[in-house]
């Protein structure tokens, strides 16, 4: 083993050991990335579903004011709405005028008030409710659903009385067959499109944000804790020191991103088993280029963050520098989502950050376009090299030693 490699691996190994000995770090590094997508895609929908079922099962008290429709009354009862009948208030200008019923809704004396008025052949209605109350919203939704069904029934009855076929009269133009069969894209390609809308963004933001803490800890943190001077006295060069620290931060960050992708794949497999989403179909070339894009992106981001953190004299200062710097990742990441990939010009693939994010989107759609690959690969390598050069400059600064307290 060459001396250089020994220095780099010894530094990296020590940094990683020291970093993972903090349980908070492990939580942030392993548990959160691993669980975030399963929580988002599996647990959250399950929770929402159970909440919706609970709400569905509720019997809700409502007040019915004005005219009565027996058909509607039966529908309300079937929808588990318990009705109290009242006269229509006289002090209102129209049916939506809450008037003195405001307090009753706010005090939750009733979940909603249904007002119905028949003028000759025309029916008028309104539902008074409290939008900040879930029960009130639920009551309103049930009432409106029943009113719509009743309206359809009234319309159908009128059409039948007039000797017309309601279906042919109301829906004269219909899609023939299953609309999903008409899509030339396979389920896998459709899944790729869905994933391309957020995976690049997630990778970019997570890589940048999870590299912040180790970058600060291993640079400004060392400076503040007074361990940097002893480190600089070791018989290794500043470049070897930078390489060791870079390897450690990149390793920690990659582990976080890999766990997050693992969690995502688990969630996708779970959703695919329920036929909610397909498994993306990617060629070997796309997968390899995708990995390459992530590695280059990590090199660039970690080098840049290490350099900025090394520029700072304290952990606090480093946090002030790196915190806002994450915006430089978030904005291009959001911006890239709206770029249309059909016929996108090659120069887009030369813009820093945007190039890698666009490349990831294209590759997730399994589009390997040689010209684009050449541009983003070359430009990204140049940017990663520039970031490494900037980091090297920061590590070689003499005041690194002079300003150690």
Partner 1 sequence: MSGPLLILDGVAKRFGEVEALTRVDLEINPGQVIGLVGGNGAGKTTLLRLMAGVMEPSNGTILFGDNPVSTMRKKLGVVPESTGLYSRLTAWENIRYHSRMYGIPDDVAWGRVSHFAEMLEITEALSRHTKGFSRGMRQKTALLRALAHGPDILLLDEPTAGLDVTSARTVRSLVGQLRDEGGTVIYSTHHLAEAEQVCDRIIIVHNGTIRADGSPKELLEVTEKESLEDAYVFLTSDKARTRTEDDVKEGKMAKWWRRFLTGSTPGTKYSDRMISVQEVSEDE
Q: Point out which residues bind partner 1 (CB under 8 A).
A: 3, 6-7, 10-11, 14, 17-18, 21-22, 225-236, 313, 398-399, 401-405
The tokens for 296 are 């280059």
- What span, in angstroms and rounded, lies between the C-alpha atoms of 302 and 213? 11
Least separation in angstroms between CB 208 and partner 1: 24
- Which of residues 10 and 337 has its CB atom nearest to partner 1 in the complex? 10
User: CA 107: distance to chain centroid?
Assistant: 37
Q: Measuring CA to CA, which residue among 123, 126, 124 is closest to residue 140?
A: 126
Of 17 and 155, CB closest to partner 1: 17
**For residue 255, which of 33, 18, 19 has the smallest C-alpha distance?**
33
Q: How far is the CB of 253 from partner 1 (least distance, A)?
A: 19
CB of 401 to partner 1, least distance (A): 5
Quick one: 187 or 313, whose CB is closer to partner 1? Answer: 313
What is the smallest separation between the CB atom of 234 and partner 1, expressed in angstroms?
5
Q: Is 310 helix (H, G, I), strand (E, B) or coil?
A: helix
Angle (nearest 5°) at CA 346 between 344 and 349: 95
In the bound complex, what is the minimum distance in angstroms from residue 228's beta carbon to partner 1?
7
CA distance 35 to 173: 47
Contacts of 147 (CB under 8 A, 6+ apart): 72, 125
> What whole-number distance in Å separates Cα of residue 282 and Cα of residue 288?
10
| Closer by beta carbon to partner 1, 213 or else 298 | 213
**CB-nearer residue toward partner 1: 1 or 57:** 1
Torsional sign, CA 200, 204, 205, 209: positive
Nearer to partner 1, 10 or 190 (CB): 10
Report, in Å, the least distance between residue 331 CB and partner 1. Answer: 24
Spell out the residues 6+ positions from residue 249 whose beta carbon is closer than 8 angstroms to its own: 15, 211, 214, 215, 218, 302, 305, 306
The answer to whether 116 and 69 are in contact (CB under 8 A) is yes
Smaller CB distance to partner 1: residue 204 or 236? 236
Query: Closest distance between partner 1 and the C-beta of residue 382, in Å?
Result: 28
């Amino acid at each position: 083993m060459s001396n250089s490699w020994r220095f780099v691996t010894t530094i990296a190994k020590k940094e990683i050991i020291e970093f993972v000995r903090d349980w908070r770090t492990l939580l942030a590094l392993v548990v959160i990335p691993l669980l975030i997508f399963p929580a988002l895609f599996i647990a959250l929908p399950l929770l929402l579903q159970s909440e919706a079922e609970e709400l569905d099962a509720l019997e809700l008290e409502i007040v019915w004011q004005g005219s009565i429709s027996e058909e509607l009354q039966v529908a309300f009862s079937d929808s588990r709405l318990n009705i109290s009948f009242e006269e229509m208030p006289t002090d209102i200008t129209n049916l939506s005028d809450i008037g003195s019923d405001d307090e009753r809704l706010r005090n939750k004396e009733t979940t909603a008030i249904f007002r119905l008025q028949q003028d000759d052949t025309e029916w008028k209605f309104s539902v008074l409710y409290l939008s900040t109350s879930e029960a009130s919203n639920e009551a309103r939704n049930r009432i409106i659903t029943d009113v719509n069904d009743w309206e359809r029934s009234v319309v159908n009855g009128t059409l039948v009385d007039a000797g017309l076929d309601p279906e042919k009269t109301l829906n004269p133009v219909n899609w023939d067959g299953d609309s999903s069969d008409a899509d030339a894209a396979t389920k896998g390609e459709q899944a790729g499109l869905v994933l391309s809308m957020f995976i690049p963004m997630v990778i970019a933001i997570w890589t940048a944000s999870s590299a912040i803490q180790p970058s600060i800890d291993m640079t400004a943190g060392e400076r503040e804790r007074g361990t940097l001077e002893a480190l600089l006295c070791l018989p290794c060069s500043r470049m070897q020191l930078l390489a060791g620290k870079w390897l450690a931060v990149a390793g920690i960050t990659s582990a976080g991103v890999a766990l997050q992708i693992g969690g995502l794949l688990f969630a996708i497999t779970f959703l695919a088993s329920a036929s909610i989403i397909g498994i993306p179909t990617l060629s070997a070339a796309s997968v390899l280029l995708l990995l390459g894009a992530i590695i280059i992106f990590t090199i660039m981001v970690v080098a840049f963050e290490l350099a900025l953190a090394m520029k700072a004299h304290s952990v606090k200062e480093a946090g002030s520098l790196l915190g806002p710097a994450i915006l430089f990742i978030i904005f291009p990441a959001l911006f890239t989502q709206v770029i249309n990939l059909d016929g996108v010009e090659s120069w887009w693939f030369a813009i820093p950050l945007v190039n890698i994010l666009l490349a990831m989107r294209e590759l997730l759609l399994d589009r390997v376009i040689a010209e684009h690959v050449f541009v983003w690969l070359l430009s990204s390598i140049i940017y990663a090299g520039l970031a490494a050069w900037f980091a090297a400059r920061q590590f070689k600064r003499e005041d690194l030693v002079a300003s150690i307290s």
